[in-house]
Amino acid sequence: MSGLEGDTGLPPVTVVVATRNRGDSVVTAIKSILTNDYPDFELLVVDQSENDLTEKAVRPYLTDPRFGYLKTSSHGLGVSHNLAISQANADIIAITDDDCEVAPDWICQMVEAFRQNEQLGMIFGNVVPNPRYDTATGYIPHFFRADPYLLTSLRSELIQGLGIGACMGVRRSAWEAVEGFDEMLGPGAPLGSLEDRDIAIRMLAAGFAVSHVPGPSVTHSGFRFNRELRKMAFRDWLGFGSSYAKYLKCGHWEISSYMLGQMWWGQAVHRSLRRLRHERRLRNVTPVVSFWLGFVCGLLTRVNRSTGRFVPRRTGQPPKHYRLAWLLKIRL
């Protein structure tokens, strides 16, 4: 793609999908994206797999001029997204996961949302769970809001507008302004999840607007068994805690309303108290404790205050406090 608006007047778009050790499951996402009716887009798949199963599965699509494939030995979702966006030919970047199917007008809806507001640096769309799963044995992460919600500062009601990374779009110019995703956050990174909300929060701090818009929608099939919930809760809330420490070190004290009020107290603590009230025993305390464990890890990790990103270590081994955090999760 040229990177310039074509005869239609519509801007080009780069779609990014990161995958790791999922084999041919990414093919479903690729098929749904390539059936979009948007006239000018490219799809870039970044593969961090430890085997060649995904590479073999996507080989038939290499003849499609819209399709690009990049195999890398790197680790972490933030790393994948940064690598892909750095090679994108467009300013509008649409991102989804390798276990999602996008709607036929998904790219059109992304573009329309960005064209409505030049101040938008990032948008989140709806993530709907695939209805064909057993709710008794597990769940599928999702985020749904019927009405749009615009965030303009860190004092906004962030819980209303910060969705999940399975359906999001970023403006490359805004991504460059905050120097990309924090590569110490996200699945595969040492400081837990939150790479998607973290970049949105840093964009708000940098003066960009962030919005949830109901138009762009994906169907998520990423089923998690109930036995996996504690591990996932640890990873997610470790990310909330470490990120909160980072924001305070950067002077963003106003984020406390979201981190402490809307999330830690409003979500983690209240859920544990409801369990205590109904079951007469304290359960599900992993989010309550791992948030503060992550907070300590964040305090002990260097931060680039100008970009709001953690500073990664150059050595192969993570610091002792990272390893201690992941060992303690077994007892939470």
Asked if 122 and 199 count as a contact pair (C-beta separation under 8 A), the reply is yes
User: Tens digit of pLDDT for each residue in 90-141?
Assistant: 999 999 999 999 999 999 999 999 999 999 999 999 999 998 888 888 889 9
Instruction: Please tell me whether residue 71 adopts helix, strand or coil conformation.
Output: strand
Same-domain status, 242 and 209: no
What is the pTM assigned to this prediction? Answer: 0.91
Residues 196 and 73 in one domain: yes
Residues 238 and 215 in one domain: no
> Looking at 222, 254, 273, which one is the last position of a domain?
222
Looking at the fold, whether 214 and 239 belong to one and the same domain comes out as no
At 7, is the pLDDT very low, low, confident or very high (cuts 50, 70, 90)?
low
Task: Note whether residue 6 is domain-resident.
Answer: no
Examine the domain organization and report whether 213 and 267 are in the same domain. Answer: no
- 207 in helix, strand or coil? coil
| CATH number reported for the structural domain that contains residue 171 in this entry | 3.90.550.10
Q: Which helix (H) or strand (E) holds 234?
A: helix 229-249
Q: Give me the helix-helix angle, 270-279 and 286-299, nearest 10°.
A: 150
Given 175, 194, 222, the domain boundary residue is 222
Q: Which residue has the tokens 């981190």?
A: 259
Helix (H), strand (E) at residue 168: strand 167-171
Given a cut of 70, is residue 319 above it in pLDDT? no
* Residue 138 and residue 74 in one domain: yes
Range of the domain at 279: 228-331
Give 29-82 pLDDT, tens digit per residue: 999 999 999 999 999 999 999 999 999 999 999 999 999 999 999 889 999 999
d(C-alpha 7, C-alpha 25), whole Å: 35
Q: Based on the structure, what is the number of domains in the chain?
A: 2
CB atoms inside a 10 Å sphere around CB 52: 11
